Chains A and B, each alone.
Chain A
Amino acid sequence: MEPSFHQPRTLDAALKLLASHEDARPLAGGATLVAMMNAGLAEPPVLVSLRHIKELKAVKALPDGGLRLGAMILHRELASEKRLKGGFAVLREAAGQVAVPPVRNMGTLGGATAFADPAADYPPALAALGARIEAASTKGRRSIAADEFFLDWYAQALEPGEMIAAITLPAWPKNAVGVYEKLAKVTGDLAIVSIALVLAQDKGVVTHLGVAVGGCGPKPVTAPEAARAMIGKPIDDAAIARLGQALAEAADPVDDVRASADYRRLVLPRMLAKAFVRASLPAKERR
Protein backbone atom coordinates (compact mmCIF):
# COMPACT_ATOMS: atom_id res chain seq x y z
CA MET A 1 0.00 0.00 0.00
CA GLU A 2 1.26 3.45 -0.92
CA PRO A 3 1.36 6.06 1.83
CA SER A 4 -1.46 8.50 1.93
CA PHE A 5 -1.88 11.92 3.49
CA HIS A 6 -5.10 13.33 4.81
CA GLN A 7 -6.20 16.60 6.33
CA PRO A 8 -9.63 16.00 7.84
CA ARG A 9 -11.69 18.89 9.20
CA THR A 10 -13.29 17.04 12.07
CA LEU A 11 -12.09 14.77 14.80
CA ASP A 12 -14.55 12.08 13.76
CA ALA A 13 -13.17 12.09 10.24
CA ALA A 14 -9.66 11.87 11.61
CA LEU A 15 -10.56 8.95 13.82
CA LYS A 16 -12.09 7.10 10.89
CA LEU A 17 -8.90 7.54 8.92
CA LEU A 18 -6.82 6.38 11.87
CA ALA A 19 -9.00 3.28 12.07
CA SER A 20 -8.43 2.53 8.40
CA HIS A 21 -4.96 1.08 8.89
CA GLU A 22 -3.30 -0.35 11.95
CA ASP A 23 -0.15 1.70 11.37
CA ALA A 24 -1.94 4.95 10.57
CA ARG A 25 -0.43 7.83 12.47
CA PRO A 26 -1.79 11.22 13.40
CA LEU A 27 0.46 14.12 12.42
CA ALA A 28 0.34 16.89 14.97
CA GLY A 29 3.18 19.44 14.73
CA GLY A 30 5.60 17.04 13.10
CA ALA A 31 8.47 18.04 15.35
CA THR A 32 9.13 14.45 16.30
CA LEU A 33 7.33 12.32 13.74
CA VAL A 34 8.80 14.05 10.69
CA ALA A 35 12.26 13.95 12.23
CA MET A 36 11.83 10.20 12.60
CA MET A 37 10.55 9.90 9.06
CA ASN A 38 13.57 11.85 7.82
CA ALA A 39 15.85 9.46 9.67
CA GLY A 40 14.07 6.46 8.18
CA LEU A 41 12.74 5.42 11.59
CA ALA A 42 9.06 5.80 10.76
CA GLU A 43 7.13 5.16 7.57
CA PRO A 44 3.46 5.49 8.42
CA PRO A 45 1.32 4.24 5.54
CA VAL A 46 -1.48 6.61 6.47
CA LEU A 47 -0.75 10.06 7.81
CA VAL A 48 -3.60 12.05 9.26
CA SER A 49 -2.85 15.72 9.74
CA LEU A 50 -4.75 17.20 12.66
CA ARG A 51 -4.10 20.83 11.86
CA HIS A 52 -7.56 21.70 10.58
CA ILE A 53 -9.45 20.25 13.54
CA LYS A 54 -10.46 23.28 15.56
CA GLU A 55 -11.65 21.50 18.67
CA LEU A 56 -8.14 20.17 19.25
CA LYS A 57 -6.83 23.67 19.79
CA ALA A 58 -9.17 24.75 22.56
CA VAL A 59 -8.24 25.62 26.12
CA LYS A 60 -11.25 25.23 28.37
CA ALA A 61 -11.55 26.07 32.03
CA LEU A 62 -13.59 23.38 33.78
CA PRO A 63 -16.24 24.24 36.39
CA ASP A 64 -14.30 22.45 39.14
CA GLY A 65 -11.20 24.58 38.56
CA GLY A 66 -9.54 22.09 36.26
CA LEU A 67 -8.36 22.83 32.75
CA ARG A 68 -8.87 20.94 29.51
CA LEU A 69 -6.14 21.46 26.94
CA GLY A 70 -6.62 20.46 23.33
CA ALA A 71 -3.96 18.17 21.92
CA MET A 72 -2.97 20.56 19.12
CA ILE A 73 -2.00 23.46 21.37
CA LEU A 74 1.54 24.49 20.54
CA HIS A 75 4.38 24.49 23.04
CA ARG A 76 4.74 28.20 22.42
CA GLU A 77 1.09 28.80 23.26
CA LEU A 78 1.29 26.74 26.43
CA ALA A 79 4.44 28.54 27.51
CA SER A 80 2.54 31.82 27.52
CA GLU A 81 -0.89 30.50 28.52
CA LYS A 82 -2.11 32.72 31.34
CA ARG A 83 -4.51 30.12 32.68
CA LEU A 84 -1.53 27.91 33.45
CA LYS A 85 -0.99 29.50 36.83
CA GLY A 86 -0.75 28.23 40.39
CA GLY A 87 -0.02 24.53 40.31
CA PHE A 88 -0.56 24.45 36.54
CA ALA A 89 2.49 26.66 36.16
CA VAL A 90 4.60 23.53 36.20
CA LEU A 91 3.25 22.74 32.75
CA ARG A 92 3.80 26.29 31.56
CA GLU A 93 7.40 26.21 32.70
CA ALA A 94 7.89 22.80 31.11
CA ALA A 95 6.42 23.99 27.81
CA GLY A 96 8.82 26.92 27.80
CA GLN A 97 11.72 24.52 27.96
CA VAL A 98 10.70 22.11 25.22
CA ALA A 99 13.44 22.24 22.58
CA VAL A 100 14.02 25.68 21.06
CA PRO A 101 11.68 28.47 19.89
CA PRO A 102 11.17 27.41 16.26
CA VAL A 103 10.31 23.90 17.42
CA ARG A 104 7.99 25.33 20.05
CA ASN A 105 6.22 27.08 17.18
CA MET A 106 5.50 23.70 15.59
CA GLY A 107 5.32 21.02 18.25
CA THR A 108 2.16 20.28 20.18
CA LEU A 109 1.12 19.11 23.61
CA GLY A 110 -0.55 16.02 22.24
CA GLY A 111 2.23 15.10 19.85
CA ALA A 112 4.98 15.41 22.42
CA THR A 113 2.94 13.58 25.03
CA ALA A 114 2.16 10.73 22.67
CA PHE A 115 5.86 10.34 21.85
CA ALA A 116 6.35 9.48 25.54
CA ASP A 117 10.03 10.30 25.73
CA PRO A 118 10.77 10.07 29.45
CA ALA A 119 13.47 12.73 29.15
CA ALA A 120 11.05 15.16 27.50
CA ASP A 121 9.37 17.88 29.47
CA TYR A 122 5.67 17.08 29.48
CA PRO A 123 5.63 13.57 30.93
CA PRO A 124 6.88 14.54 34.41
CA ALA A 125 4.82 17.75 34.44
CA LEU A 126 1.64 15.84 33.56
CA ALA A 127 2.43 13.12 36.06
CA ALA A 128 3.04 15.64 38.84
CA LEU A 129 -0.24 17.38 38.09
CA GLY A 130 -2.19 14.12 38.04
CA ALA A 131 -3.29 14.96 34.52
CA ARG A 132 -5.60 12.70 32.57
CA ILE A 133 -5.03 11.97 28.94
CA GLU A 134 -8.19 11.88 26.88
CA ALA A 135 -7.82 9.26 24.18
CA ALA A 136 -10.22 9.13 21.26
CA SER A 137 -10.94 6.54 18.62
CA THR A 138 -13.88 5.42 16.54
CA LYS A 139 -14.79 3.22 19.51
CA GLY A 140 -15.24 6.21 21.76
CA ARG A 141 -13.31 8.16 24.29
CA ARG A 142 -11.52 7.18 27.42
CA SER A 143 -9.58 9.05 30.03
CA ILE A 144 -6.24 7.67 31.16
CA ALA A 145 -4.37 8.87 34.23
CA ALA A 146 -0.89 10.12 33.42
CA ASP A 147 0.73 7.50 35.60
CA GLU A 148 -1.07 4.80 33.65
CA PHE A 149 -0.50 6.47 30.31
CA PHE A 150 3.29 6.46 30.22
CA LEU A 151 4.29 2.80 30.11
CA ASP A 152 7.88 2.49 28.96
CA TRP A 153 10.53 4.17 26.81
CA TYR A 154 8.56 5.82 24.00
CA ALA A 155 5.57 3.66 24.81
CA GLN A 156 2.17 4.76 26.06
CA ALA A 157 -1.26 3.31 26.55
CA LEU A 158 -2.80 4.38 23.24
CA GLU A 159 -4.33 1.54 21.24
CA PRO A 160 -4.05 1.36 17.45
CA GLY A 161 -6.49 3.85 15.99
CA GLU A 162 -6.46 5.91 19.13
CA MET A 163 -5.06 9.42 19.50
CA ILE A 164 -4.84 12.07 22.18
CA ALA A 165 -7.72 14.51 21.87
CA ALA A 166 -7.08 16.54 24.99
CA ILE A 167 -5.35 16.56 28.31
CA THR A 168 -7.23 17.44 31.44
CA LEU A 169 -5.54 18.96 34.44
CA PRO A 170 -7.46 18.39 37.65
CA ALA A 171 -8.04 21.33 39.94
CA TRP A 172 -5.33 22.25 42.41
CA PRO A 173 -5.81 24.57 45.36
CA LYS A 174 -5.54 28.23 44.45
CA ASN A 175 -2.41 28.60 46.53
CA ALA A 176 -0.65 25.70 44.83
CA VAL A 177 2.66 26.44 43.16
CA GLY A 178 4.07 24.51 40.24
CA VAL A 179 7.73 24.61 39.32
CA TYR A 180 9.78 22.75 36.75
CA GLU A 181 13.52 22.31 37.26
CA LYS A 182 15.48 21.02 34.32
CA LEU A 183 19.11 20.09 33.94
CA ALA A 184 20.24 19.71 30.34
CA LYS A 185 23.60 19.76 28.60
CA VAL A 186 22.61 22.74 26.48
CA THR A 187 19.51 24.82 25.91
CA GLY A 188 16.76 22.87 24.24
CA ASP A 189 18.20 19.45 24.88
CA LEU A 190 16.35 16.63 26.55
CA ALA A 191 16.68 16.53 30.30
CA ILE A 192 19.45 14.76 32.14
CA VAL A 193 17.11 15.08 35.09
CA SER A 194 14.00 17.19 35.43
CA ILE A 195 11.79 17.73 38.43
CA ALA A 196 8.14 18.63 38.17
CA LEU A 197 6.80 19.78 41.50
CA VAL A 198 3.34 20.96 42.46
CA LEU A 199 3.04 22.06 46.04
CA ALA A 200 0.39 23.65 48.18
CA GLN A 201 1.18 24.55 51.74
CA ASP A 202 -0.51 26.18 54.67
CA LYS A 203 1.87 27.96 57.01
CA GLY A 204 4.72 25.65 56.11
CA VAL A 205 2.63 22.52 56.25
CA VAL A 206 2.13 20.56 53.07
CA THR A 207 -1.50 20.29 52.07
CA HIS A 208 -1.15 19.01 48.51
CA LEU A 209 1.85 17.60 46.72
CA GLY A 210 2.54 16.25 43.26
CA VAL A 211 6.00 15.36 42.14
CA ALA A 212 7.47 13.49 39.21
CA VAL A 213 10.91 13.16 37.73
CA GLY A 214 11.97 13.10 34.09
CA GLY A 215 15.07 11.62 32.51
CA CYS A 216 15.46 8.94 35.15
CA GLY A 217 13.99 5.82 33.66
CA PRO A 218 11.49 4.50 31.15
CA LYS A 219 8.69 6.73 32.38
CA PRO A 220 8.13 9.64 34.75
CA VAL A 221 9.35 8.62 38.18
CA THR A 222 6.97 9.05 41.08
CA ALA A 223 7.01 7.98 44.71
CA PRO A 224 3.37 8.14 45.74
CA GLU A 225 3.78 6.81 49.25
CA ALA A 226 6.67 9.09 50.11
CA ALA A 227 4.75 12.02 48.66
CA ARG A 228 1.64 11.16 50.66
CA ALA A 229 3.77 10.89 53.77
CA MET A 230 4.63 14.57 53.49
CA ILE A 231 1.01 15.69 53.50
CA GLY A 232 0.00 17.36 56.72
CA LYS A 233 3.58 17.73 57.84
CA PRO A 234 5.89 20.70 57.86
CA ILE A 235 8.28 21.10 54.97
CA ASP A 236 11.76 20.55 56.26
CA ASP A 237 15.04 19.43 54.77
CA ALA A 238 14.76 15.98 56.26
CA ALA A 239 11.34 15.40 54.74
CA ILE A 240 12.49 16.63 51.35
CA ALA A 241 15.55 14.42 51.60
CA ARG A 242 13.34 11.42 52.39
CA LEU A 243 11.20 12.16 49.35
CA GLY A 244 14.34 12.60 47.25
CA GLN A 245 15.66 9.30 48.50
CA ALA A 246 12.39 7.56 47.69
CA LEU A 247 12.38 9.03 44.17
CA ALA A 248 16.01 8.06 43.62
CA GLU A 249 15.14 4.52 44.67
CA ALA A 250 12.09 4.46 42.42
CA ALA A 251 14.14 5.77 39.52
CA ASP A 252 15.49 3.35 36.97
CA PRO A 253 17.93 5.49 35.00
CA VAL A 254 20.42 4.29 32.40
CA ASP A 255 23.85 5.42 31.33
CA ASP A 256 23.58 7.38 28.09
CA VAL A 257 25.36 10.15 26.22
CA ARG A 258 23.89 12.75 28.54
CA ALA A 259 24.95 11.33 31.90
CA SER A 260 25.38 8.17 33.90
CA ALA A 261 22.65 6.50 35.89
CA ASP A 262 24.64 7.09 39.07
CA TYR A 263 24.82 10.80 38.46
CA ARG A 264 21.12 11.01 37.81
CA ARG A 265 20.39 9.29 41.11
CA LEU A 266 22.85 11.61 42.81
CA VAL A 267 21.52 14.84 41.42
CA LEU A 268 17.82 14.02 41.60
CA PRO A 269 17.38 14.70 45.36
CA ARG A 270 19.55 17.80 45.08
CA MET A 271 17.39 19.20 42.31
CA LEU A 272 14.27 18.25 44.24
CA ALA A 273 15.47 20.30 47.17
CA LYS A 274 16.06 23.22 44.86
CA ALA A 275 12.57 22.83 43.43
CA PHE A 276 11.09 22.98 46.93
CA VAL A 277 13.07 26.11 47.66
CA ARG A 278 11.83 27.77 44.51
CA ALA A 279 8.24 26.63 45.05
CA SER A 280 8.35 28.24 48.48
CA LEU A 281 9.51 31.61 47.20
CA PRO A 282 7.08 34.47 46.69
CA ALA A 283 5.78 34.48 43.12
CA LYS A 284 7.92 37.40 42.00
CA GLU A 285 11.16 35.78 43.06
CA ARG A 286 10.29 32.47 41.50
CA ARG A 287 11.68 33.66 38.14
Chain B
Amino acid sequence: MRRTKQASPLITLSINGNDHMAVVKPFTTLLQVLRDQLGLTGAKCGCNQGVCGACTVLIDGKPARACLSLAANCTGRQIVTIEGVGSVAQPSRVQQAFIDAGAVQCGFCTPGMVLSSESLLAENPKPSVAEIRTALSGNLCRCTGYKRIIEAVRLASKAEAQP
Protein backbone atom coordinates (compact mmCIF):
# COMPACT_ATOMS: atom_id res chain seq x y z
CA MET B 1 0.00 0.00 0.00
CA ARG B 2 1.20 3.48 -0.85
CA ARG B 3 2.93 5.26 1.97
CA THR B 4 2.02 8.86 2.49
CA LYS B 5 3.62 11.44 4.68
CA GLN B 6 1.12 14.22 4.31
CA ALA B 7 -1.55 14.74 6.91
CA SER B 8 -4.53 12.50 6.33
CA PRO B 9 -8.02 13.90 6.27
CA LEU B 10 -10.40 13.56 9.14
CA ILE B 11 -13.75 12.07 8.22
CA THR B 12 -16.93 11.36 10.10
CA LEU B 13 -18.53 7.95 9.92
CA SER B 14 -21.90 6.97 11.30
CA ILE B 15 -21.37 3.70 13.08
CA ASN B 16 -23.98 1.98 15.18
CA GLY B 17 -25.95 5.20 15.31
CA ASN B 18 -23.09 7.37 16.53
CA ASP B 19 -20.76 9.66 14.65
CA HIS B 20 -17.11 8.68 14.84
CA MET B 21 -14.12 10.66 13.64
CA ALA B 22 -11.42 8.79 11.80
CA VAL B 23 -8.16 9.75 10.18
CA VAL B 24 -7.93 8.12 6.80
CA LYS B 25 -5.76 7.92 3.76
CA PRO B 26 -7.41 7.31 0.42
CA PHE B 27 -6.65 3.62 0.59
CA THR B 28 -7.72 3.08 4.19
CA THR B 29 -10.52 0.54 4.33
CA LEU B 30 -13.52 0.68 6.60
CA LEU B 31 -12.23 -2.52 8.20
CA GLN B 32 -8.96 -0.83 9.14
CA VAL B 33 -10.77 2.13 10.64
CA LEU B 34 -13.12 -0.06 12.64
CA ARG B 35 -10.40 -2.30 13.99
CA ASP B 36 -7.37 -0.05 14.30
CA GLN B 37 -8.87 3.34 15.13
CA LEU B 38 -12.22 2.72 16.75
CA GLY B 39 -11.47 -0.48 18.66
CA LEU B 40 -14.44 -2.20 17.01
CA THR B 41 -12.73 -5.54 16.51
CA GLY B 42 -15.87 -7.62 16.02
CA ALA B 43 -15.36 -7.44 12.26
CA LYS B 44 -12.48 -9.77 11.42
CA CYS B 45 -9.91 -9.72 8.67
CA GLY B 46 -10.04 -13.18 7.16
CA CYS B 47 -8.85 -12.60 3.61
CA ASN B 48 -8.88 -8.86 2.84
CA GLN B 49 -10.23 -9.82 -0.58
CA GLY B 50 -13.95 -9.85 0.02
CA VAL B 51 -14.24 -13.61 -0.23
CA CYS B 52 -14.57 -14.98 3.30
CA GLY B 53 -17.17 -12.69 4.85
CA ALA B 54 -15.53 -12.40 8.28
CA CYS B 55 -15.50 -8.61 7.92
CA THR B 56 -19.18 -8.32 7.03
CA VAL B 57 -20.89 -5.18 8.30
CA LEU B 58 -24.20 -3.64 7.36
CA ILE B 59 -24.00 -0.55 5.19
CA ASP B 60 -27.35 1.14 4.83
CA GLY B 61 -28.92 -2.05 6.09
CA LYS B 62 -27.27 -4.40 3.61
CA PRO B 63 -24.42 -6.82 4.31
CA ALA B 64 -21.21 -5.52 2.79
CA ARG B 65 -17.51 -6.22 2.97
CA ALA B 66 -15.73 -3.80 5.28
CA CYS B 67 -12.42 -4.88 3.70
CA LEU B 68 -13.60 -3.78 0.24
CA SER B 69 -15.11 -0.52 1.42
CA LEU B 70 -12.82 2.47 1.45
CA ALA B 71 -13.51 4.41 4.61
CA ALA B 72 -13.55 7.70 2.76
CA ASN B 73 -16.28 6.32 0.55
CA CYS B 74 -18.50 5.49 3.53
CA THR B 75 -19.27 8.97 4.77
CA GLY B 76 -22.97 9.63 5.00
CA ARG B 77 -23.80 5.94 5.18
CA GLN B 78 -25.29 4.11 8.11
CA ILE B 79 -22.82 1.47 9.21
CA VAL B 80 -23.76 -1.24 11.67
CA THR B 81 -21.14 -3.54 13.15
CA ILE B 82 -21.65 -6.51 15.44
CA GLU B 83 -21.03 -4.18 18.38
CA GLY B 84 -24.20 -2.37 17.39
CA VAL B 85 -26.33 -5.49 17.59
CA GLY B 86 -27.70 -6.61 20.93
CA SER B 87 -26.05 -6.15 24.28
CA VAL B 88 -24.65 -8.27 27.07
CA ALA B 89 -27.92 -7.85 28.94
CA GLN B 90 -30.06 -8.40 25.87
CA PRO B 91 -28.58 -10.14 22.88
CA SER B 92 -30.65 -9.78 19.73
CA ARG B 93 -32.99 -12.60 18.80
CA VAL B 94 -30.57 -13.69 16.11
CA GLN B 95 -27.68 -13.68 18.56
CA GLN B 96 -29.69 -15.62 21.13
CA ALA B 97 -30.72 -18.10 18.45
CA PHE B 98 -27.07 -18.63 17.48
CA ILE B 99 -26.35 -19.48 21.12
CA ASP B 100 -29.41 -21.68 21.52
CA ALA B 101 -29.02 -23.55 18.25
CA GLY B 102 -25.34 -24.31 18.86
CA ALA B 103 -24.31 -22.33 15.80
CA VAL B 104 -21.12 -20.98 17.35
CA GLN B 105 -17.81 -22.79 17.14
CA CYS B 106 -14.54 -20.88 16.78
CA GLY B 107 -16.53 -17.68 16.44
CA PHE B 108 -14.39 -16.01 13.80
CA CYS B 109 -17.18 -16.07 11.21
CA THR B 110 -19.91 -15.48 13.77
CA PRO B 111 -20.16 -11.66 13.71
CA GLY B 112 -20.48 -11.69 9.93
CA MET B 113 -22.96 -14.55 10.02
CA VAL B 114 -25.07 -12.76 12.62
CA LEU B 115 -25.10 -9.53 10.61
CA SER B 116 -26.01 -11.26 7.36
CA SER B 117 -28.79 -13.05 9.24
CA GLU B 118 -30.07 -9.82 10.80
CA SER B 119 -30.29 -8.23 7.38
CA LEU B 120 -32.04 -11.25 5.89
CA LEU B 121 -34.67 -11.37 8.62
CA ALA B 122 -35.25 -7.64 8.41
CA GLU B 123 -36.12 -8.06 4.73
CA ASN B 124 -37.69 -11.46 4.88
CA PRO B 125 -38.97 -12.43 8.34
CA LYS B 126 -39.86 -15.99 7.32
CA PRO B 127 -37.13 -17.17 5.00
CA SER B 128 -37.06 -20.68 3.59
CA VAL B 129 -33.99 -22.84 4.07
CA ALA B 130 -33.08 -22.10 0.46
CA GLU B 131 -33.35 -18.36 1.07
CA ILE B 132 -31.21 -18.63 4.19
CA ARG B 133 -28.56 -20.61 2.34
CA THR B 134 -28.46 -18.03 -0.43
CA ALA B 135 -28.37 -15.05 1.87
CA LEU B 136 -25.53 -16.47 3.94
CA SER B 137 -23.57 -17.99 1.07
CA GLY B 138 -21.11 -15.12 1.21
CA ASN B 139 -20.00 -16.00 4.73
CA LEU B 140 -17.57 -18.89 4.96
CA CYS B 141 -17.56 -21.08 8.05
CA ARG B 142 -14.98 -23.82 8.44
CA CYS B 143 -16.21 -25.35 11.70
CA THR B 144 -19.94 -25.94 11.79
CA GLY B 145 -20.74 -27.41 8.41
CA TYR B 146 -23.37 -24.62 8.28
CA LYS B 147 -26.32 -26.73 9.41
CA ARG B 148 -26.55 -25.22 12.91
CA ILE B 149 -26.28 -21.74 11.48
CA ILE B 150 -29.25 -22.41 9.22
CA GLU B 151 -31.08 -23.80 12.25
CA ALA B 152 -30.21 -20.65 14.21
CA VAL B 153 -31.70 -18.40 11.55
CA ARG B 154 -34.81 -20.56 11.42
CA LEU B 155 -35.06 -20.39 15.19
CA ALA B 156 -34.67 -16.61 15.13
CA SER B 157 -37.31 -16.32 12.45
CA LYS B 158 -39.74 -18.26 14.64
CA ALA B 159 -38.87 -16.03 17.57
CA GLU B 160 -39.44 -12.96 15.41
CA ALA B 161 -42.86 -14.22 14.51
CA GLN B 162 -43.99 -14.20 18.11
CA PRO B 163 -45.51 -10.96 19.35
Direct contact of A and B (CB under 8 A): yes
With A39-B49, A102-B116 as contacts: A47 and B138 at CB distance below 8 Å: no
**B148, CB-defined interface residue at 8 Å:** no
12 new A-B contacts, CB < 8 A, other than A31-B65, A105-B59, are A2-B2, A3-B4, A5-B70, A7-B72, A34-B50, A34-B68, A34-B69, A49-B70, A99-B138, A100-B137, A102-B65, A106-B50
CA distance A31 to B49 in the complex (A): 8
Q: How far is the CA of A76 from the CA of B4 in the complex (A)?
A: 35
**Chain A contact surface mostly:** loop
Known: A103-B138, A106-B64, A106-B65. A5 touches B29 (CB 8 A): no
Q: Mark A24-45, 1 if CB is under 8 A from B, else 0.
A: 0001011100110111100100
Q: Verify if A65 is at the interface (C-beta below 8 Å from B).
A: no
Q: Mark A1-21, 1 if CB is under 8 A from B, else 0.
A: 011110100000000000000
B126 contacts A by Cβ under 8 Å:
no
Complex Cα gap A100–B67 (Å): 15
Q: Mark B12-39, 1 if CB is under 8 A from A, else 0.
A: 0000000000000111010000000000
Q: Which of B49-80 contact A (CB under 8 A)?
A: 49-50, 53, 56, 59, 62-65, 67-70, 72-73, 75
**Closest partner residue, chain A, to B24 (CB atom):** A5
Residues of B within 8 A of A100 (CB): 53, 137-138
Q: Which residue of the partner chain, among B4, B29, B63, contacts A102 with CB atoms under 8 Å?
A: B63
Query: Given the interface contacts A7-B73, A39-B49, does A34 sit within 8 Å of B29 by beta carbon?
Result: yes
Determine whether B135 belongs to the interface, using a CB cutoff of 8 Å to chain A. yes
A29 to B62, CA, bound (A): 14
A sample of 8 inter-chain contacts (CB < 8 A) reads: A3-B27, A5-B26, A38-B68, A40-B1, A51-B73, A102-B64, A102-B138, A103-B138
- For A34, list chain B residues within 8 Å (CB): 29, 50, 67-70
CB <8 Å contact, B27 and A37: yes
Q: Which residues of B lie under 8 Å from residue A99 when comparing CB positions?
A: 50, 138
Of A30, A47, A105, A187, the contact of B62 (CB 8 Å cutoff): A105
For the complex, give the distance between the alpha carbons of A42 and B22 in Å. 24
**Contact call B26/A102, Cβ cutoff below 8 A:** no
Q: Is the CB of B134 within 8 A of A106?
A: no
Q: Does B96 contact A (CB under 8 A)?
A: no
Taking Cβ atoms with an 8 Å cutoff, the residues of B that contact A are 1-2, 4-6, 25-27, 29, 48-50, 53, 56, 59, 62-65, 67-70, 72-73, 75, 116, 134-135, 137-139
Which residues of B sit under 8 angstroms from A105, Cβ to Cβ? 59, 62-64
CA distance A237 to B67 in the complex (A): 47
Find out whether the CB atom of B26 lies under 8 angstroms from the CB atom of A31. Answer: no
Q: How far is the CB of A187 from chain B (nearest CB, A)?
A: 5
Contact between chains at B135 and A35 (CB < 8 Å)? no
Q: Which of A143-161 contact B (CB under 8 A)?
A: none
Query: Which of B25, B26, B63 is most buried by chain A, counting CB atoms within 10 A of its CB?
Result: B26
User: Nearest chain-A residue to B133 (Cβ)?
Assistant: A187
Give the CA-CA distance A76 to B59 in the complex, in Å.
Answer: 14
Chain A residue contacts of B29, Cβ below 8 A: 34, 38
> Cβ of B50: which chain A residues have Cβ within 8 Å of it?
31, 34-35, 99, 102-103, 106
Query: Are A106 and B137 in contact, with the CB atoms below 8 A?
Result: no
* Candidate in B5, B49, B67, B116 with the most chain A CB atoms within 10 angstroms: B49
Closest Cβ of chain A to B2, distance in Å, is 5
Residues of A within 8 Å of B53, CB to CB, are 100, 102
Is A101 at the interface (CB under 8 A from chain B)? yes
> In whole angstroms, what is the CA distance A38 to B70 when docked?
10
A3 vs B26: C-alpha distance in the bound complex, in angstroms? 7
Query: 8 smallest A-B Cβ distances: which pairs?
Result: A100-B138, A5-B26, A102-B63, A105-B62, A102-B138, A34-B68, A3-B26, A38-B48
